[in-house]
Amino acid sequence: MSSTGYPEPFLALVAGRHRRRLGDAFGLGQFGVNLCRLEPGAASSQRHWHEKEDEFVYVLEGEVVLVTDAGETVLGPGMVAGFPAGRADGHHFVNRSDRDVLLLEIGTRAADGERVVYPDVDLLYDSERGFLHKDGTPW
């Protein structure tokens, strides 16, 4: 699956991202598990952080750049990154190499009221209202 719910101005960054929702296939309701493949030049998402959901990412194959508020870190196979809920540290992964990257993404599923903040762009996600501008108006 390559789709995203991002509004049009934010789609290009994740072109070349492909996710398989492995947790859904087993009916997992408390946490999600995704296999994410990033083609060269693709990002995992817009840089973001979650108010209520923890995230954990394990690099299976390739070399990927983790971008956070602190800067950039190159990760390779066997390396991991984790992002606790509520920590306002925008993050994403970018494939700047010439081959595909394979990531295992694991995260909690907030029961309700989740918000995702995208610090670099005019975008918020609210689980009840969808994608919003930072002023709260819908996209």
Q: Where are the domains of the chain?
A: 8-132
Taking the C-alpha atoms of residue 93 and residue 100, their distance in angstroms, rounded to an integer, is 13
pLDDT per residue as tens digits for the range 36-69? 999 999 999 999 999 999 999 999 999 999 999 9
pTM, two decimal places: 0.93
Spatial neighbors of 36 by CB under 8 A, at least 6 apart, are 17, 18, 19, 44, 102, 103, 104, 105
Contact 49, 117 (CB under 8 A): yes
CB 68, CB 90: distance < 8 Å: yes
Q: What is the CATH number of domain 8-132?
A: 2.60.120.10
Confidence of residue 5 (pLDDT cuts 50, 70, 90): confident
Distance CA 110, CA 94 (A): 25
Structure confidence by residue, pLDDT tens digits, 78-136: 999 999 999 999 999 999 999 999 999 999 998 788 999 999 999 999 999 999 999 99
Q: What average pLDDT does the segment 14-18 reach?
A: 95
DSSP one-letter code for 25: H
What pLDDT, on the 0 to 100 scale, is given for residue 4? 76
> Is 25:19 a contact under the CB 8 Å cutoff?
no
| pLDDT confidence band for 29 (50 / 70 / 90) | very high
